[in-house]
Structure 1
Amino acid sequence: MTRLRDELRLLAAEAPQVDLAERAVRGARRQKTTTFASVVAALAALAVSAAILVDGSRGATTSTQVTDVLPASGVDPAAYAYYDFCGRKWDYRKNTHTFAGQNCAQWQLVTRTGQRFRVPEATSVYTEQTADNYMNTGAPLVITPDGRRIAYYSEKDRTFAVRDLAGGQIWLAPLTVTRQAMVRSGVLLTLSPDGRYLGVNGPDRLDAVVDVETGQLTEPPNGWRVRRVASGGTSVVMSDLADGLGLMSDGKVTPLTIGKPWDDITVPAPDEHTMAYLDGRKDDGNGMFSPDNAVATLDATTGKTLTKVTFRDAPKDFTPRLGGWLSPTEVAVSDAARGPRSEDGTPMLGEVVYGIDVNTGKVRERAKYTYRGWAGDLSIPGF
């Protein structure tokens, strides 16, 4: 639940108009009780924006006004997706409603070949916010690690859609979810790496794993929430109401031993039993945490720790959040990208993606995403 807390501290410092850290982490002024899903959705929506993005493997891409709508098929794999509140300053107390109906406030998808498209069918910015009633800034959009499929909330269909970018197929989850429910509590979406299984974590026990190609829906045991789904849908990382972690297989959940409130863990690696998590973070008792400084693995079948190594060659002030497996021995993490404001005061924000070797702790940078903007959301494949 705290995977973006450190990024939020940076963002709060860079964007003083809104107390983002207090909004997303504590949720103290929400009208309703904040669920795990709404906190995570708020964190994802508030922690990132997209105006300029730099990918270390492809060079710089400057945000421009995107006019083309995502074609029905034949689209190259996605490099990332974003919305940036039209490049304007965003104040949830005053002007969110002014973005209603604007094309520039829609999700925009950028392909690996540099094409840019609007995705109008994917709900983006919630515009109902006022000073007395504010909620998550927008609806989620997630991308598979290979960039070939995306998932999002489709308001016209009142459910979640998974879309294959090349083939054009769109699968709708056999769930009914109103915009009002999305606004009230937020939903966390996750796609399995193969793009076939959609995990839904939402309000009012809206928790399920959907095989989008057959429509089969699996609901977890009461009290467990969906966190991550493995390829094939056979293994699902779960959390309980106390933020303990478990692994669901064949409808049954086996609790995992790490279970601290800030923990997150991967699905099993290609060997189908090794799971990785970050370790070493400590709570000072006042809601502040020292950063993780180690990566550990455990055997999902026995629950026993297999390896634990401290980070090696990590950058200064490294505060990573966990992604997925990059190879049988390496996991992906991301950390906040840091930089000065521009001359007009616009913050430079972003994320850097790293790989960490679970056997040696070696940290290596894979891609750097930096951008200038006041508010928005950024979605990276596999995160």
Structure 2
Amino acid sequence: MNETSPGRVEGGGLLPESKRRSARPGPSRRTGLFVLLVFVIGAGFLYLNRHDEPEALPEWKPGPFDPPVQYAFIPEKSDCRDHLADATEDAEAKLVTCSEWTLHTNYKNGQGRQELDLTYGMSCAGVKADEDDCSSDIQLFDAASQVQIDDSYRQGVPLRITPDGHFISYFSKSWMRYVGWDLRAGQRKSISPRLDAETLNDLRSVNISPDGRFFTVAFSGTQPRLLITDFATGQTSTVPGFCRVLGLSQAAAVIAAKRACTDIGEDGSKDDTVTILNRSGLVTGEWKGRDSVNDLSPDGRLLVEVLASVGEDGKEHLVVREAKTGKVVRTLTLRLLSESSDAVGYGWLNNDEYILQAETPEPGGSFGYYRVNIRTGKSLRIRDLALSLGEKASLGNVRIKN
């Protein structure tokens, strides 16, 4: 029966009074109709706006990845670094402003495990005449490349790779902490506690032992500390009083570190003391160095420094020092190019060769990467690397193996 007006039915007749009262919706029925109406309107609103709130993506769980990473890079040009975070965003969204680290790998098509499980992560671009020779740039969306410290200051965050290209360390957007990643095993583990903007501002160095067994993260601030993580067990130990690591040897048997978190010591003088530790944090050597001392050799025997000039010849030099004592073993004159260039240290290729980049005198240019024999001083261009790898680069297994 369809109601057309109060008290009337189709055909013009009137209902008795008792029927008219019972025909009106009671309080409970009106409430039910109201709830139903709200539900329908709400469901329609959610349907029309279902794309405005995307579903949370499942956690990324990379599988085993056999090809070594040749290098990681941040592109030269990007809108990301010019974007200021919205002050209305929540703290975590505001903290990570860029995720631009990209992994460059070389491999044979169809050979080995390649289970990174990244959407659009890999495509084979031939690097030689053989179409099975592949090269891929894989953007690692979980790796932060820049963070917002406060409303006016942003800083980059490093990514590190072992010389064999099989272990990586980076600041994870999803975990909000530094992680170590064994690519071949497909395992990631925390190597730091959860970090906020203040703690990231105190970050001074991230390092991995050449064999990938130990990871370190060092902080300055009011409580300088060095975190050492055994990747096999996932256990992290803290060594207080150190705020920067200059390098780890195999199995972290030797660790070169600095106590001073600034260049100025307590007496107002420049403090460049280098301390040699074992992985338990015990001091085995200490000496006064210079701020340019850096990069411990894989065997833990040597440290190097790149100097713009020694004496009055105006040439650049590579100074090789004994790690435990600081004694100068040899000073090598750098001859990377026949034309003027600025040498920048990038780390050890092996126990006998050190990698340098030859930068142009003008900012932003590059003449390529070179390996320098620390015994003879002979330098050779690493032709498997392009002249320039991007705005920033972290080197792994630099030579393409066929």
**TM bracket (short chain):** 0.5 to 0.7
Counterpart for residue 163 of structure 1: 181
Counterpart for residue 115 of structure 1: 136
Counterpart for residue 165 of structure 2: 147
Equivalences for 1:85-104 in 2 at 5 Å?
Answer: 87-88=78-79, 90-91=81-82, 95-97=83-85
Counterpart for residue 275 of structure 2: 246
Residue identity (%): 22
- Residue in structure 2 matching 1:180, options 194, 197, 206: 197
Which amino acid is 1:240 matched to? R
Residue 121 of structure 1, CA deviation: 2.2
Counterpart for residue 236 of structure 2: 217
- Residue in structure 1 matching 2:227, options 195, 208, 228: 208
- On the 8 A contact 2:358/2:368 being kept in 1, the answer is yes
- On the 8 A contact 1:225/1:239 being kept in 2, the answer is yes
Which amino acid is 1:157 matched to? W
Q: Structure 1 residue 296 and structure 2 residue 319: aligned?
A: yes
Equivalences for 1:38-49 in 2 at 5 Å?
Answer: none
Residue 262 of structure 1, CA deviation: 2.5
Change (3 A) 1:314 1:255: farther
Counterpart for residue 26 of structure 1: none
Q: Structure 1 residue 124 and structure 2 residue 118: aligned?
A: no
- Residue in structure 1 matching 2:394, options 359, 379, 383: 379
After TM superposition, the score normalised by the length of structure 2 is 0.61
Change (3 A) 1:261 1:297: closer
Structure 2: 5+ residue runs without aligned partners?
Answer: 1-59, 87-92, 108-134, 261-270
Between 235-244 and 323-332, the greater mean CA deviation after superposition: 323-332
| Higher RCO (CA-CA < 8 Å; seq separation 6+) | 1
Residue 75 of structure 1, CA deviation: 4.8
Larger Rg: 2
SS for the counterpart of 2:332 is: strand
Change (3 A) 1:217 1:351: farther
Counterpart for residue 18 of structure 1: none
Number of aligned positions between the proteins: 291
Q: For residues 25-62 of structure 1, what are the alpha-carbon distances to aligned partners after superposition, in whole Å with 9 as ceiling and x for unaligned?
A: xxxxxxxxxxxxxxxxxxxxxxxxxxxxxxxxxxxxxx
Counterpart for residue 289 of structure 2: 259
SS for the counterpart of 2:185 is: coil
- On the 8 A contact 2:218/2:226 being kept in 1, the answer is yes
Residue 150 of structure 1, CA deviation: 0.9
For the residues of structure 2 that align with 1:315 and 1:189, how far apart are their CA atoms?
Answer: 35
After TM superposition, the score normalised by the length of structure 1 is 0.63
Change (3 A) 1:83 1:313: closer
CA RMSD of aligned residues (A): 3.8
- On the 8 A contact 2:292/2:305 being kept in 1, the answer is no
Structure 1: 5+ residue runs without aligned partners?
Answer: 1-68, 285-289, 340-346
Change (3 A) 1:300 1:103: closer
SS for the counterpart of 2:181 is: strand
Q: For residues 70-129 of structure 1, what are the alpha-carbon distances to aligned partners after superposition, in whole Å with 9 as ceiling and x for unaligned?
A: 9533352112223338733844xxx3338x799984322221231222222222332566
For the residues of structure 2 that align with 1:167 and 1:259, how far apart are their CA atoms?
Answer: 39
For the residues of structure 1 that align with 2:334 and 2:309, how far apart are their CA atoms?
Answer: 16
Residue 187 of structure 1, CA deviation: 4.3
Q: Structure 1 residue 82 and structure 2 residue 78: aligned?
A: no
- On the 8 A contact 1:135/1:183 being kept in 2, the answer is no
Counterpart for residue 61 of structure 1: none
